[in-house]
């Protein structure tokens, strides 16, 4: 793991955010952090493979409910998509942009991965948060371990603590703008987004999940209906499948972070323990997946924000960025799993028949 490469590099220095802004990068040759040299993308990208586009459209249609799918070739830049520019709630997929902001702060020496922070009772979040059971009189934990809990386990309290450490949700939004990541957002801490989606306003006692669920259960159904309708109409954590695959491709190409920070983030995504029956279930031996899932609340027999996004790497090292997003679904969990595994299999099939060794990188722009 690249953890050791980065732990000793950075020490906390300077003002919290400072006045520095990233200047736009000129076109340049980008090196994979662990792989081949890949040129920066040109404005003109090749068209999507027709057969793969047809297969993705068939998979989406067969699901019977609205879904968003995007598959991007990291090297050549083409994208095949179904409703790829539509906005979907990310839920925990938004943890990726928090992690990106943390690693940018590490690269700029405003944070260090071995820096220790202390979590208290008021730092609890909602829903899945294994760290909460360890918070009593205070939990000392490193930034690196918070990253592990947020990306590997999807711990909400770890994610919310990371947001605090980088300067708040506005800091994440600024990073997204500075990196020119179109079609992604963060929305806020998990506890704020989830309580608003339920029709509540965050209160510290909601860090005890049973208290939050009890307060939610006492709301009139009409309040919950309206809160969820508002969330789905304009999700604060919304993103487009194409926006996500574009950002993941840039991350893989080394265009967003330093090589060490890129390696650290991708390795954590590769260790993710969530969503084993989603994209991962469609993988053949020899393929690998670095990913992040999202899973929203259930209400009136439907689930919200059921997602899996990541980087699928073939046995020859060729990588595809993939996003499968479901806004709201009444389909069974097994049907959701078949949808996502089916997209992974479609990518594998394309690579086996057309993509293996057949695509050369584009010419360097500029």
For domain 30-355, which CATH number applies: 3.40.710.10, 3.40.1410.10, 3.90.1310.10, 3.40.50.10540? 3.40.710.10
Rounded CA separation 169/188 (Å): 5
Whole-prediction pTM: 0.86
Mean pLDDT by 10 residues, the chain (366 residues): 39 30 30 42 78 98 98 97 98 98 98 97 95 89 98 98 97 97 96 97 94 97 98 97 98 98 98 97 97 97 98 97 98 98 98 72 32
Burial (CB < 10 A; 0-12, 13-18, 19+), residue 134, is exposed
Q: What residues have CB less than 8 Å from 239, skipping those under 6 apart?
A: 87, 88, 90, 93, 94, 183, 184, 185, 325
pLDDT at 31: 35
Structure tokens that stand for 248 in this block: 């993941």
The domains of the chain are located at 30-355
The secondary structure element, H or E, covering residue 30 is strand 29-31
């Amino acid at each position: 793991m690249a953890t050791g490469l980065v732990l000793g590099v950075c020490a906390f220095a300077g003002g919290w955010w400072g006045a520095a802004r990233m200047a736009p990068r000129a076109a340049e040759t980008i090196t994979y952090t662990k792989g081949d040299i890949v040129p920066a993308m040109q404005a003109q990208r090749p068209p999507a493979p027709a057969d793969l586009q047809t297969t993705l459209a068939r998979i989406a249609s067969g699901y019977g409910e609205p879904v968003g799918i995007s598959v991007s070739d990291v090297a050549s830049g083409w994208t095949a998509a179904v409703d790829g520019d539509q906005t979907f709630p990310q839920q925990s997929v938004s943890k990726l942009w928090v992690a990106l902001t943390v690693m940018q702060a590490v690269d700029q020496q405003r944070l260090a991965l071995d820096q220790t922070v202390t979590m208290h009772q008021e730092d609890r979040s909602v829903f899945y948060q294994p760290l909460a059971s360890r918070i009593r009189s205070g939990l000392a934990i490193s930034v690196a371990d918070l990253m592990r809990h947020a990306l590997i386990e999807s711990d909400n309290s770890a994610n919310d603590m990371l947001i605090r450490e980088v300067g708040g949700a506005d800091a994440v939004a600024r990073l997204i703008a500075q990196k020119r990541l179109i079609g992604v957002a963060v929305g806020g801490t998990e506890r704020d987004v989830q309580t608003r989606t339920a029709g509540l306003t965050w209160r510290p006692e909601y860090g005890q999940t049973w208290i939050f669920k009890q307060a939610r259960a006492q709301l009139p159904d009409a309040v919950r209906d309206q809160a969820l309708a508002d969330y789905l109409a304009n999700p604060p954590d919304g993103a487009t499948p194409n926006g996500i695959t574009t950002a993941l491709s840039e991350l893989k190409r080394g265009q967003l972070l330093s090589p060490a920070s890129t390696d650290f983030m991708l390795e954590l995504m590769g260790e993710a323990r969530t969503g084993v029956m989603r994209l991962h279930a469609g993988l053949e031996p020899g393929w690998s997946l670095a990913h992040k899932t999202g899973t929203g609340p259930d209400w009136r027999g439907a689930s919200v924000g059921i997602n899996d996004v990541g980087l699928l790497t073939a046995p020859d090292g060729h990588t595809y960025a993939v996003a499968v997003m479901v806004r709201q679904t009444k389909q069974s969990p097994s049907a959701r799993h078949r949808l996502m595994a089916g997209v992974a299999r479609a990518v594998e099939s394309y690579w086996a028949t057309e993509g293996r060794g057949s695509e050369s990188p584009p010419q360097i722009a500029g």
